[in-house]
Structure 1
Amino acid sequence: MNLASRGPAGLLLRIIAEPLPLWWRLAFAGAVIGGALAIRLGLLLWVIDFPPYLFQLPAIIVVSLVSGPKIGLASVALVAGVNAALLPEAGNGGAGSSPLASLLSFAVNAIAVWGIASLVRTVLRRLESAHAALLSAASEQTAVVATLEALLAHAPVGFAFFDAQQRFIRVNEMLARIDGIPAGEHAGRSLTDILPQLAQAVTPSLERVLATGEVIADVELEGATPALPGMWRHFLVSYFPVRTNGAGISLVGMIVVEITERKRAEKAIAASEQRYRLLAEALPKMVWTSAPTGSGDYYNRRWSEYTGVEPPPGEVVEWHAFLHPEEKSGVMGAWHASLSSGNPFSRECRFRAKDGSYRWFLCRAVPVRDEDGRVDRWYGSCTDISEIVAAREALSRTNEDLERLAAARTMQLAEANSLLKQEMDERLRAESQLRQAQKMEAVGQLTGGIAHDFNNLLTIIIGNIEAAERRVPSDPNDTRTQEIKTEEIRRFLDYGRQGALRAAVLTQRLLAFSRRQPLDPRPTDANRLVTGMSHMLRSALGERVMVETVLAGGLWRTEIDHNQLENAILNLAVNARDAMIEGGKLTIETANAYLDEAYCAAHEDLSPGQYVAIFVTDTGMGMSEDVRARAFEPFFTTKGPKDGTGLGLSQVYGFVKQSGGHVMIYSERGEGTTVKLYLPRLEDGAAAAEPAPARADTETRTAPATVLMVEDDDQLRALGAASLREAGHTVIEAADASAALDAVSRGARPDLLFTDVRLGDGMDGRGLADAMKRRMPRARVLFTTAYARNAVVHQGRLDPGMKLLTKPYSQSDMVAKVNGMLDEPALRGAVLLVEDEPFVAMVASQILEDQGFKVTIASHGEAALAHARAARTDIGRDALVLAIVDIGLPDMRGDEVVRRLGEIAPDLPVIVASGYATQDLTGLFGDRSDVGVISKPYDGATLVAALERLGFRMAE
């Protein structure tokens, strides 16, 4: 009961029941007894003959109840003594006996009251103790019930409780999941209703627990449940009685654990062990296993068959019991060492057979470790090697004889080797002489062909120049004669120029054969190229030759020099026409092809992979095997002396090989010829425009430009500079790369760099172009070269974005090439757009792409800086020419990005975009001419205006 809830009386009862300190109880008793005695003295003054003991008895009761029996008894004695001292003296006559009697009556009553109060105090304290114990028991019972409820709710096993009629009283959620029926639908239903396939197995155990009260543990059951009707499941079930109201059994509890997976694993292990034992028994070897300590626990039948020892069932005889005495100590030492270290065991030793003889065995054992790396078991085998040992001993016995025979044979071989070496040396000298002779013959043939053609051309050039010189008028006043001779001089100079051009063509063919001609490879659609050549081929081949094209669908693209490929196909077509004397059919076919490793291994400088194939087939006379083998040799021809130079096929061969491809001729005499060109497939799937046709006009640009001309030949540089100045351009001349870079450092800003690839010592033309591109990414570059061995990095092939003018060239061609490049739209390059808002980035990207820029988007400052560092090494068309930076980015402020971009690329123009007031940004970047500021939101006109303020010339 709660004493504090009963007001003042309850508070008094709580004070009585609770233990209080001694000083408090003494103080309380003193206060109460002192008050009672004070009342006694006051009454004595008023009514002398009246003894007011009744006012003192309550005080004694209160003190006895609150301060305890001992203090209460002491209070009785104290009050009685004080009352006795205050009694009237005996001399007052008969009246004196009445106060004494009252005092005695008071003493008896006080003792009686003290006793009653002490008994009441004891009873109250015991009642309070019992109440506290009852509250504690109730709290413990509540905790136990909560614990049991939590156990039932979250236990990983199923619980169910049945009444005496074997009906479900309660189940937990785990049992509901096991049988597939919600927990709330079990109450009141029988086991037969819920689990009909398991009811027959469960019911006897329930009845047994109800009848005897015993606990039945770990009963295995199997069957299907409504949760998985078609699956046979296994369960481990335990039963226990639930007693209430004394010893009566009111409920039966059931614990269910599903062991389906464990049973499957046990069956799998049993099957595996059975397979292992069958395999071990079938092996011809003696097989055994042992514990980690080395004690054996299994030996197959081969042991008993060999040793003749049949141990009793359940026992084994260890393998080392049959070792030969001479080897036992060494073998056991090695075995114990393996047991200690965990290393595999291997030893040759002899075992005793059942007839007492010994045979040699190779005994091996390997450890099997558990998940923690500890040795869990040893698996051993012993293989009979007696025949091997016998053969080894026999071989050892004959070793000396073999050594003697080997020594004699070695002497014979040494002599034969000496003779063979002499013959090989003589043969190598003969082969060397033959190769030298063949080399000299080839060089002689090449030199003779070059000398013959060049002598013819030089004769034409020299003769016409001399004829022109003879016609220079001696009298400058003879106008009529001067006009006649001027016409003749022009004619002879034109003949000389044509001879020089033929010499240039001859040089290009020789460079093509040697794979040294400069190429300008571009993404090319072979189908489109062949289709575009059809009209030209029909005109060149005449009416007697029918041209047919068979073009493959879905043809891959190739990266090739467009003009050189056209020349190659034209060369093959002309050769085919000459082979079809009576006319015929020329077929040009395209296809996708794959050259495998076997094919490439049989041909030099060819890598396996995907190729674009072009087949040129004619119905002409064909080639013999000797002619086909020499078809690609320079100046080799089956035509007459005036019908060809013999450089056509060699030029095709050199061009295809230089482009990374392959060419083969398939021909038989009288069966026609097929030439197959294999050109590497272009892996890049991005669309690229076909090469634009060359400019036909040679008109001078109306807007003059600045050209930096770098040429180490003084005469050629002076001639070219004069021609460009005549065309209206400003020309800065430099003899080498150092002079060119010095000019740029002094402030020159050329629109175009025109440089020879070979500049003597120091930096070459390609290195100069790289350096220029880093300083001026939008500057155009025009290379010129006559010999492309070291022109560019990819086997004489120009990188994308570079233009080439091949030597020798005419001044008009040079001026036309320069003007054509200057007339091209300005190279926009790449823009780094640093913007974390996807929609804004999409809009700005579209505006920039419409203006011809390639846009890279970075949503964070660090990503933008990483891209800028990588782009610093890119000197092609996609060089970084502009950055547009949002001021608010997730990882850093935009002004910090601008500052760090300035450290990476000092000359990079930047546009800063802000959605807030731009006055602060203008003040921050106001002194920088390469930084522009725009407000967000911005449209295309605003962005284009900002680009123009930074010096970009935008399209109308």
Structure 2
Amino acid sequence: MEQSSRGLAGPFLEIISRQRPLGWRLGFAAIVVAVAILLRTTVALSQPDLAPFMVHIGAIFTATLVCGGRIGLGVAAVLIAGEAGLAVLSHGEKANPLAAGPARSTLVSFGVSGFVALVMGITLGAGLRRLEAARGRLAAAVAQQDVTVATLEALLDHAPVGFAFFDRQLRFVRVNEMLARMDGIPVSSHPGRSLTDLLPQLSEALTPGIARVVQTGGVIAGVEVEGATPAAPAVWRHFLASYFPVRTQGPGGDGPGAVPDIGLVGMIVVEITERKKAERDIAESERRYRLLAEALPKMVWTSTPDGTGDYYNRHWTEFTGDRAGREWHAFLHPDDLRPATEAWQASLSSGNPFTRECRLRAADGSYRWFLCRALPVRDETGRIDRWYGSCTDISEIVAAREALARTNEDLERLAAARTTELARANERLKQEMADRLKAEAQLRQAQKMEAVGQLTGGIAHDFNNLLTVIIGNLEAAERRVAPEATEIRRFLDYGRQGALRAATLTQRLLAFSRRQPLDPRPTDVNRLVLAMSQMLRSALGERMNVETRLADALWRTEIDHNQLENAILNLAVNARDAMPAGGTLTIETANAYLDEAYCAEHEDIAPGHYVAVSVSDTGIGMTQDVRARAFEPFFTTKGPRDGTGLGLSQVYGFVKQSGGHVMIYSARGEGTTVKLYLRRLVETGLAENTPPRPARKGAGATASVMVVEDDPQLRALSVSILREAGHDVIEAKDAAGALGRLDDGARPDLLFTDVRLGEGMDGTALAEEVRRRLANIRVLFTTAYAKNARALAGRSGPQDRLLAKPFSQAELVGKVKDILDEPAKRGVVLLVEDEPFVALVARQILEDHGFEVIVASHGQAALEHARGPAAPGIVLAVVDVGLPDMRGDDVVRALAGIRPDLPVIIATGYGTSELEGEFGASARIALMGKPYDGATLREGLRRLGFEVSEE
């Protein structure tokens, strides 16, 4: 209790109970005596009938109460002596007044009263001091209790484990924040609810423990439960629960016979989901280790740090016949027992590897020579955690050594080669752990890229549709504004440039996440670099020296030509920024091979041949941290107004999406080199320099174009652009509408369709159906998303093209013109012929009639082409019967399993009679004798329905 809460008694009790110095107490007593004398004099004058010493009684009591019994006794003596002295002085030389009866009676009464006051003061002071001391102890106890309660509250609220308290009816009374986070239910929603209400999947596992504590009052620790919680309904989690009683006193109070009662049941919950997973991982690793140890063709064993064996594989058991688990040295030859055990003890003491040749007893009692070797494995502190040992049978080696007197060098080399197998097994286990950590890091990086990809890809289609409409309408507005309205034209130009910048930003984000639409074509990188070098020299400024080092006989690659130019330009601009004072930019090309060892160290790259493009600068270079984050989107070392941080990430995404690899080599102050590894183009045998054929009639001028687009604004814009270009346009909002127009008699020259068409058939399926009806139709796809662009792989025809969204009017008109101006192609012929001269003649005849030709000299090569990337474009196969690896008729049968509808011409020099029985009745197969000329081959084409003209 605070002093202010005790009223006027507080200061008084403070004066009485506090221990004062002697000087203070003497001074206080002197003041009391002085005041008593003064009051005595005053009372005597004003109240002569009142006994004067009555004032002194209060003084004696006060002095005793405040200053203690000894000083109170002194005050009493002083006052009594003073009264006696006054009595004597007041009578002068008269007889002794103390001998008189009244005076003596007065002094005696004064003495008795003073003594009583003294005793009362002593008794009351001691009592008050004890009371005040007890009050202080009580206050300290209350404060300590408050601290304890506050500590327990803080522990409950902030403990890293879940706490819950239940009443005897098994209902929640209180939970802490950690338990609420575990079960996903707010703290305030628990009180008064049962486990069945809140956690039905865990109720059956948790309720028995609580009920048992209520019944027995005991403590239950370490109960494992598992199930899902509202925090993650689909995730199975593991918990470790412990229960304890919270006791109160029963009706009998707290006396000796009182019986404690269980008022509440406490529960502590720790989530052990990760521990369980780790235990499963350890168990799986242990299982793999044991399988590996059992599979090794030697005896393998392990021991504890003190040398006690705790594992022997089955080869040991089979050789020794031991089932009792005896130590390995129990099977040593008597002559080898002492030296082997001494060497083993020396290794245990020193921690050095153990190696010993000794003889071990087999189950049949015979002895064989073994090379026994053990290696220690240490923990993080350097202490030996376990010994791994092996026993390799070297009986034949010892026999050969003794018989042929092999040199010591030969024996040591052979023994070393045979005893490293266990070390390799151990290394494989360690490598497995390292591979797991590497895989986890790659998974995190893949998840990061996937998150960006989902974000950008999810909005790309609709966003680029909007940008296409915006750009197209701005261009249309520019054409309709009068030339003198310069201010309006300027505003329109600003809007169009902003929309183009937005489209560029979207494409860069799609590039990083590998979702940008690409248009890969066979590309000569040397020619591309040469074409860019002059532009780079003028664009980068006079302080930049641009050098090119181009490899001779550089392989071709299949890549998006424009995106590769953008990548090199991005790298060149970064190099310029890294050389503010000027320097040298070097672009180098080379043929490269990435082997399996290199690819194993880098993610998402396959061994093989690549075309390497290196962009190097002599600038400031990168630190290790910057190099590690260089490909992350939005990461940049430039100022907030100097770049978006998407340049290198766009390069990274484009190269990876194209099946290539990119690496940065840089050090601070030593410049930077970025290497792009692009997949080498595997030539399929298609004619690279096919003679130009005449374009279809009218293609360069006007044509009939079918536009299929589900976005009404974008469809209206595309129709308007193509009609202004002079084309006859047929429009449809979906595949069903387009096919309906074909059923009504429409015969377009070009199909322009979005890949994604909403409900029903998509753009690729529509193109396949239209191509089935109109064999020579040309197709132009449009999309903003590489997932859709990848859907074209293997399904598009040889003359299909792709236009990425957003596109301008000029891009659409130009792309349509380019497609219509291309010469009509009739498809690909698979020519299976092992005789080079015959193949040359047949190829020339087929190419003269508008076909592209793939030549295969073996049957297996032909079947690989029929399953490979060129398969969709193959419209005919010409197969010779006599092939080096298999018969031609077997090739025809295999082709029927791959492409049942593929027309085939079978050429045979053995006469066609033996093939007539099986193939003669088939409408898709024509038989042709050898040797044959152009007329014979043309006749075979006509029999299969191909229109060919006479030469």
TM-score, normalised with respect to structure 2:
0.42
TM-score, normalised with respect to structure 1:
0.42
